[in-house]
Amino acid sequence: MKFVQGAESTISLVNKTTVDTKFGENKSKADLTMAMDLHQSVIEVKSDGSAVVIQKLARIKMESTGGLAGVTLEFDSNDPKEDDQANALSQVLRPLIGAQFEVTYSDRGVVLDVKPPAALVKSRTTNWAVVYQQMFSGESFKSMLSQSSVVLPEKPVSRGTKWKTNFSSAPQAGGAAVTVSYVYDGTVEVDGKQLEKLDVTMVMKLLESKLPDAPRLNIKKQSSSGTMYFDNQTGKMSHSVVKQLMQIEGQIGAMSLLQQTITDVTTTVK
């Protein structure tokens, strides 16, 4: 990675998720689309090549449909007509706009640490506290960045070179251990630019929750495919597309659970 103190960029993420759930005799389907813009500023580059950056949440746009309640919710932080009092999503997401996360990256792009804004953590006094914690806690934010960011190899590569990186999320609450595998596929031209193409796959393993009475869940089926494009001239990722399918089964009380999640994440850096 080529970190330059004072350099600025905008990271745009679009996450499209479809969740099909069968819980006992009940079936439901939910669709969620979330678009998010992060303004990034490099505030420190250390002697080992690692860097501390500030990522500011500049925009969130979300649409949620279906689920057990069967309702549709929409929110766009750029919409001046948004009625925060009448919109449940606004009450959760509006306080996040302008929030600044301090992120430390290694010289290869590994997310080493994330510090959420203290003011945001202290503001969790409403019934939406759980939503805050799940979506934008330091641990969740780190996991999101790790899944959408590229990690470079330790040594020079040629076409066909493979390497891996690992990270985990929320281990105490029964999160997941993730292995990301990369294959270098050479230099390609995209929109007139010479970019390095990386083929990406992810494999997840559920971690046993240490919380009391937590349900036991198992991965029944999973698959993933993705492509990341790295710009050697700028020293940063250009864009990526990663798709994942996950089927989870388990027993909660007397009822069985089968849930399939399909996720499509597009990331663009400008």
What digits encode the pLDDT tens for the residues 148-185? 889 999 999 999 999 999 988 765 555 889 999 999 99
Domain-located, residue 216: yes
> Any idea which residue has 């999640």 for tokens?
261
131 vs 101 pLDDT, higher one: 101
- Quick check: is 138 in a domain? yes
What whole-number distance in Å separates Cα of residue 175 and Cα of residue 151? 21
pLDDT exceeds cutoff 60 at 3: yes
Tokens, residue 81: 């007509």
Q: What percent of the chain has pLDDT over 90?
A: 64
Q: What is the mean pLDDT of residues 11-22?
A: 96
Q: If you ran DSSP here, which 8-state letter would residue 3 be given?
A: -
Split at pLDDT 50, 70, 90, the class of 247 is: very high
Structure tokens at 155: 């040594």
Closest CA to 139 of 103, 92, 165: 103
> Left if phi > 0, otherwise alpha if psi is -120 to 50, otherwise beta: which for 118?
alpha
Residue 174 region, left (φ>0) first, then alpha (ψ -120 to 50), else beta?
A: left
Give the chain's domain count: 1
- Whose CA is closest to 232, among 141, 147, 157? 157
pLDDT at 121 over 70: no
CA distance 73 to 60: 13
**Domain harbouring 64, CATH code:** 2.30.230
Amino acid at 48: D
Mean pLDDT, the chain, integer: 88
Is 243 inside any structural domain?
yes
Residue 37 lies inside a defined structural domain of this protein? yes
Task: Supply the range of the domain harboring residue 251.
Answer: 8-269
Q: Which amino acid is at 202?
A: M
Mean pLDDT of the region 39-67: 94
Least confident of 22-36, 115-129, 187-201: 115-129
User: Residue 131: which pLDDT band, with cuts at 50, 70 and 90?
Assistant: low
C-alpha distances in Å from residue 116, one per residue of 47, 108, 122, 144, 237:
24, 22, 11, 13, 23
Residues 70-120 pLDDT 10s = 778 889 999 877 666 667 777 778 888 898 999 999 999 999 999 988 766
- Report if residue 1 sits inside a domain: no
Find, among 24, 67, 69, the residue nearest to 253 by Cα: 24
Structural domain contains residue 2: no
Residue 56 has pLDDT above 60, yes or no: yes
- pTM here is 0.86
pLDDT of 1 reads: 85
Identify whether 3 is part of a domain.
no
236-265 average pLDDT score: 94
CB 13 within 8 A of CB 40: no
In a domain, 256, yes or no: yes
| pLDDT average, residue stretch 241-248 | 96
